[in-house]
Structure 1
């Protein structure tokens, strides 16, 4: 088609050229020019044919190249598919071989199990036969023993049980006592611990020093300003601070009463500012109390930071640092809680170092072990469990959390530092001079201990020693046997535990002595 087109175009061009030349040339060289034009037209036609042939060859070559390229790609795809099919066939053959091997092994095991089962059945039959023979021999042996002893088997059993009862009673008492002693270490809801912890958590000690603060005045005239017209000033102070102000006939003194030491301190500082300023009215009182609260919060934070720096404890959460500072204004049995915690921390570090443990971790746990006594909000949890919860909340190590929660046996001890913290807490609280107790109540407790022991039969004397931590009882040897002494010690310890309230623990020791005295003359 292309060759024909080019040929037609060339012929038309030659014809046009011939006509144009025929019209223009009217001279004698017209025929020559026509011949030249024909030759030129033939040349153009020849060139057009050559170009058409070349173009046709180029297009054929391109078509062959594309065909060969597509053919090679197709052959590659076919080859890859064949390889995948071969690999799949190989895997299937391998699986078939492995399944055949497993089937053979399974069949072999089944045959072996059948053989073992048959062997076991034969052995069971032999055991049954031997058991029957043994029972016959045992019955014969029992009949012979009955003849020799003159007793039936039931009578012999009865006598044996009766003879063992007395021995079992004394052993049972000692075992029961050991079990109870072990339970005391692990029980987390003992009555005496609940009472002591409740007293510590609510700061409900009945000692005057822990519930009141005496604010000294320069003169009694200031009392009238503090009370105000119709008592509005004193009511404003009590409402703002939550502290009761007792204004009585005591010269130049006002008593601030509250179970919360922080509130008493805020009230004392606020009164001091108001008295120095001289302007005492409800609006001024509220302003001064708010400023004092902010100042005391800063002071609490400063105390906590200085404490952790002094002990070399790093990375403590800010809220825990603040609670450490609050312990400065808390006491337990007259012992300042912050001083007790610092002392416990140092003791824990020393003991951990001696045992080859981590002293820094032990010191951290010792400082925070009573952190639950100074919460921002009161809960029903004991201070040990609340402290563990706070420590876990603020990212403390699991060993520290467990030591805090287990130092009163309310959690299971899971780390080595837990008993260390418990022991150091007891050492700090029990050392001489650490805690105070009203002398009258102390003497009454000693007297009650001795009277409780003397109320039992056979008790000759009773002495409460070691500041009431041990009760020694001397019994009459002709009235109380050794077994009775064990039972008496157990009963008195239980009675003390159920009827009396006391800090720590009381050891009950019963002493029975038999003397034979003769004089040679």
Structure 2
């Protein structure tokens, strides 16, 4: 019974599941049919839209095509018009070319006719030249017979005569040109130099190779030397200067190549003597303080020189080197004062010539900076100064002016010659420098020897401290025209063989005397 109930319940459940499954399938079938209908509807609508879009695209394409066609027609119309114009121009050019071709053909025919006539003329001229040559040969032979000279001998005589005439004419021309050039050049140069001298006046300081310190008494010498020489050794070690203590009464001599160190030693020893406390520790302290003070003095001297001249923008190291020139002398002339003087003269000359005054003053102020260190560095002071200037940022124009002011390097600009002239003028003006008697006599003898080396010279006299040399020549050997050439040759030989500042005037004197005596 139980099995029957279970079976019947199972059968009922199976029928329920089957009925539910059938209903589900029916619903799905209905949904599929609706989906197919929707798809067909969407397809129909899509096809309609596609047809509409195609028609619109076709219409737009047609309108664009028409528009492009109209634009193309307009553009091609302009191009066709331009082509027609160009065609007309080409036709006109062709016609003008045809006309020119006809004219050229006519000219060619004229040229051929002229060429034929010219050939005939050339043949006639050649024939006449042959006749003239024959005539010249016959004339030459007749002249050789008459004069008893060959053509080569006659040519040599004629050339010598022409050479002598040319030499005399050349000497006259050289004399005239030289006199005119010297007259104008001397006038302008004297004007510029006199203006520079009038606008500047400077004194000079006597050159000192050693420094002398006066003592209050000879007993101070022992205190300076110290026990077993410890004080003098400490002073020499601190300053780098040699102290000479000899029999000179109440004086100590300081000797050294460095003028700055010599000044430091002089000031230090002066203070030690006035203070009275002289021992190694005190010496080192005083020398250190004096060194600082001298450095300040050097810097202030350089700055003052640059300020007085209106030269700005110089490197501080160059300012210090310029200040060191205050303690340097050359031929009894203070080098700093000389540099300031050269700078002023260079500025005046540049102003007279219409050049840059500031750059000329800068060159003049820096031209001798090599002398501040030439006792420490090998080489000419001009090249040493040029290297210092270049190292500290000076322009090439200034560097070359420094290097060339003694012609250690070739001058490149007019400023180089201005600095040379100002340097020579500052050193050669009366009272600027002192010269030893031996060097003075030697320079005069060298001048006279150069002049005496030429033929026809009887006597020479160097005058005006070697600024002028007068040459007496033999009148029977040297003519007036030869005297002009001789003065020029002597001047050139002096320039090439001797070194001298400024200018040397060469005067050749030729004298002819006629003497006659009366008899009764």
Pick the TM interval, shorter chain: 0.5 to 0.7
Equivalent of 1:419, from 406, 417, 420?
Answer: 417
Q: Deviations over 1:41-83 (max 9, x none)?
A: 543575589789999x99xx9xxxxxxxxxxxxxxxxxxxxxx
> Measured at CA, do residues 502 and 314 of structure 1 come closer, stay the same or move farther in structure 2, by a change above 3 Å?
closer
Question: How many angstroms does 1:154 deviate by?
Answer: 2.1
Equivalent of 1:327, from 315, 325, 328?
Answer: 325
1:144 maps to which residue? 139
Equivalent of 1:221, from 212, 215, 219?
Answer: 219
Q: Deviations over 1:156-176 (max 9, x none)?
A: 23334544666677869998x
Deviates more, 1:470-479 or 1:429-438: 470-479
Pairing 1:43–2:38 present: no
Distance of 1:349 and 1:24 partners within structure 2: 137
2:266 maps to which residue? 268
For residues 101-500 of structure 1, the aligned pairs below 5 Å read 141=136, 144-149=139-144, 150=147, 151-163=149-161, 209-282=207-280, 284-286=282-284, 288-375=286-373, 378-438=376-436, 442=440, 462-475=460-473, 477-478=475-476, 480-482=478-480, 485-486=483-484, 489=487
Distance of 1:447 and 1:500 partners within structure 2: 11
> Measured at CA, do residues 261 and 402 of structure 1 come closer, stay the same or move farther in structure 2, by a change above 3 Å?
same
The answer as to whether partners of 1:429 and 1:435 remain within 8 angstroms in 2 is yes
SS in 2 for 1:414: coil
> Measured at CA, do residues 443 and 39 of structure 1 come closer, stay the same or move farther in structure 2, by a change above 3 Å?
same
Distance of 1:477 and 1:295 partners within structure 2: 69
Distance of 1:453 and 1:332 partners within structure 2: 30
The answer as to whether partners of 1:210 and 1:259 remain within 8 angstroms in 2 is no
> Measured at CA, do residues 470 and 146 of structure 1 come closer, stay the same or move farther in structure 2, by a change above 3 Å?
farther
Distance of 2:378 and 2:35 partners within structure 1: 107
Q: Deviations over 1:227-255 (max 9, x none)?
A: 23444433443344343322222222111
Q: Deviations over 1:263-293 (max 9, x none)?
A: 2112212322433444444555455445444
The answer as to whether partners of 2:207 and 2:333 remain within 8 angstroms in 1 is no
Distance of 2:208 and 2:133 partners within structure 1: 78
Distance of 1:376 and 1:467 partners within structure 2: 29
Distance of 1:345 and 1:357 partners within structure 2: 14
> Measured at CA, do residues 219 and 489 of structure 1 come closer, stay the same or move farther in structure 2, by a change above 3 Å?
same
Question: How many angstroms does 1:355 deviate by?
Answer: 2.7
Question: How many angstroms does 1:469 deviate by?
Answer: 0.7
Distance of 1:330 and 1:218 partners within structure 2: 28
Distance of 2:363 and 2:311 partners within structure 1: 10
Question: How many angstroms does 1:216 deviate by?
Answer: 1.4
- CA root-mean-square deviation: 5.1
Distance of 1:146 and 1:279 partners within structure 2: 113
TM-score using structure 2 length: 0.62
The answer as to whether partners of 2:206 and 2:333 remain within 8 angstroms in 1 is no
Deviates more, 1:378-387 or 1:247-256: 378-387
TM-score using structure 1 length: 0.62
Count matched residues: 409
Distance of 1:44 and 1:455 partners within structure 2: 145
Deviates more, 1:269-278 or 1:315-324: 269-278
Distance of 1:416 and 1:491 partners within structure 2: 26
Unaligned residue ranges in structure 2 (runs of 5+): 1-7, 47-117, 179-204
Unaligned residue ranges in structure 1 (runs of 5+): 1-21, 62-122, 180-206
For residues 51-66 of structure 1, the aligned pairs below 5 Å read none
Q: Deviations over 1:6-43 (max 9, x none)?
A: xxxxxxxxxxxxxxxx979979xx97897566435543
Distance of 2:125 and 2:166 partners within structure 1: 37
The answer as to whether partners of 1:142 and 1:153 remain within 8 angstroms in 2 is no
> Measured at CA, do residues 224 and 134 of structure 1 come closer, stay the same or move farther in structure 2, by a change above 3 Å?
farther
The answer as to whether partners of 2:448 and 2:460 remain within 8 angstroms in 1 is yes
1:118 maps to which residue? none
> Measured at CA, do residues 138 and 385 of structure 1 come closer, stay the same or move farther in structure 2, by a change above 3 Å?
farther
The answer as to whether partners of 2:207 and 2:329 remain within 8 angstroms in 1 is no
> Measured at CA, do residues 484 and 352 of structure 1 come closer, stay the same or move farther in structure 2, by a change above 3 Å?
closer
Q: Deviations over 1:162-198 (max 9, x none)?
A: 44666677869998xx99xxxxxxxxxxxxxxxxxxx
> Measured at CA, do residues 154 and 460 of structure 1 come closer, stay the same or move farther in structure 2, by a change above 3 Å?
closer
> Measured at CA, do residues 351 and 490 of structure 1 come closer, stay the same or move farther in structure 2, by a change above 3 Å?
closer
SS in 2 for 1:214: strand
Question: How many angstroms does 1:299 deviate by?
Answer: 2.7
Distance of 1:235 and 1:221 partners within structure 2: 18
SS in 2 for 1:399: helix
SS in 2 for 1:472: strand
Distance of 1:480 and 1:234 partners within structure 2: 70
> Measured at CA, do residues 403 and 455 of structure 1 come closer, stay the same or move farther in structure 2, by a change above 3 Å?
closer
Question: How many angstroms does 1:477 deviate by?
Answer: 3.5
Deviates more, 1:294-303 or 1:497-506: 497-506
